[in-house]
Chains A and B, each alone.
Chain A
Amino acid sequence: MTTLRSSVLRLLCWAIGIGFVLYVPFVLNTRTVFGYRVGNMVLLNLGLAQVDLMLISIIGAVSLNFLTGCAGLISVGHAAFFAVGAMAAAAAGQQLGLPFAATLIAATIAGAIAGVIAGLPSLRVRGLYFVLSTLALHFIVVFCFAEYQYAFHDVAGVTMGDATIMGFELDNNVKWYFFLLPFVVLVCVMLQSTLGLREGRAVLAMRDNELAAAASGIDVRMLRLKVFAFSSAIASLAGALQAYYFTSVSAEIYTLDTAIQFIAMIIVGGMGSIRGGIAGAVVWLLLPSVLVGTTVELKVLPGGVAQFLVGHQPQMVNLTFGVLVAVLLITAPGGLAGLARSFAARGSRQGSGV
């Protein structure tokens, strides 16, 4: 009886959620809901472009969360894999003349190979030393990207071909949204189900206690390489998508800050779960708008302060993000996902207690 009701409820939630996700791009594109105009503030000053970039970030964040949160391998090299993806896609598209879809596959394969190479130090070193090897990797890849860019493209950047799939050209944000969405869903579902597999459980076991995992017959070295290849293949795919979205990318955009932003996302969202990665990317998307747009539009702050906020928007966003990361690290190691879980647990305990 109750199970029936709750499953109906769950179905309803899913339906509403899916409807929302499918309808959002039109709302953001036309700034109307069912034909009625809505203010910028209601839409949190969001543009569809930001949402599209967020979808790409989600792919990056969940893949990093798989590597760091689930497998316990800390990497500051995630921007480098984005660069690998962009480079591979550009080379496959521009130099070899492959079609768009094929370049995405090429990027994924290149990412996996780069991941295996980048993961090799993990066979020798752990912890901090491994973090440093990913730092070195970052600078080396960015250097290679710059060399590639100057050799085959121009100083302005690596130009990508048209993103056309089966004669259908991705030339506006709405099309991109519906192109990216399945990727996000696919990646999340794939990672989630991997965690349910025997191999996925082995990954978690390895993170929690490497010696015990090794003792129970898990080949931890091989497993680490596999995880690294898997995660970086996904990140490279995201990098290729991002490059096509931007139509042209240059070496300067792959900064250490980008890599750090991904780590910040999974810390804010919550380590070790797919949900955490998504939540972190969403916060990263919403923070600028909520922080600046709403305060200004609501006129809750005196003019001077609002002006100051608008004038320093990027810095204020970074400041808030940095403080958020620090506060969450200190007070809520589980991130937002962990907080939500403990709230839910408290709620259900109270519910059953009454």
Chain B
Amino acid sequence: MTASDAQRTVPPQAAHTPGEVTSRNPFARVSSLFTLLILAVLIVAFTLYSGTKFLNPNNFQNIAVDASQLLLLAVGATFVIITAGIDLSVGSILIFSAVVAAKVAVRFSGSPEQVKLYEFPTQEVGIPLGIAAGVLSGLGWGIVNGVLITRLKMPAFIVTLGTLGMALGFAQLLSRGVNVPNVPPAIQQEIGLRELASVDLGGYHYRITPPLAVTTIVVVIAAIALARTRFGRYTYAVGSNAAAARRVGINVDLHLIKVYALSGLLAGIAGVFDLLRFGTASVSTHQADNLAAISAAVIGGTSLFGGLGTIVGSVIGTFIPAVLRNGTVIARVQPFWQQVLIGGILIVAVYLDQRRRQAEERM
């Protein structure tokens, strides 16, 4: 609020209204600062402990690439949770999409005999088809979630718990439970690791690869869409008071379907990243990604009760575990400490957030 606003709208007697107290309340802004502070403390601590091994810009690039998939999931989780929903299925959708992308890419890159010999005569067709199939299957699962939640009036927790199992089961059926074999290596070599652009700075060579570029673009668009567009406004409105939103004519069900579709779409893209980064689709990883994405959003200030949250917060909330993971490895701390620390941060972040909200809403 600017000074001129204050002059215009606050009457003299309003000096004692609780709203005025809020801005001076120590808890009012503490939570968003808290998460940023945690991130800063972690970076400083690991730097002091491991020196240039951690502070090495190449290492930061590693952290960013490692975090890229979770960032996509956390962006989706932010929209979903702001609507007071939840999406437990994103990890499974990611796996499913990766398997579909790999299968389709293999199928259309050459005959079964050829691909067994690692020959991919038609990979110019197969690879784009595979990528598209992966992304679209994520979108498809998201739409299924949204339709089931709104049409059957089922709790999102139950529906996405169901699709979590189904998507994972289908992924395992499709892949027979093993990494999809004979994926054209060009997916990883020519696309995943391709240097789209590079920056030489302070003697280091930063490489912008497609996963990094796509993630950055998605995060920026999502942040703008949430803060500046009608889609974002309706996302908050639906989570804040769905009945009021309905009464002013917002198509709440359609909006929810779009939000779950977005979450699925982003999981689909993250699934394709598996191929881009590792050249294969594995069914044995990512199974805890759903909770990781939810805790990233929540650490970043998104309220599970809906109506509150920002993309910037979720980005910070994603990087805290990412930095922890990377830092503990470099510092040769037992990796199990990561989980202890992330769990503790989650609890403290939510506690502070609750305090902040109570302080704000006191009347």
Co-assembled chains A and B: no
A residues bordering B, Cβ < 8 Å?
none
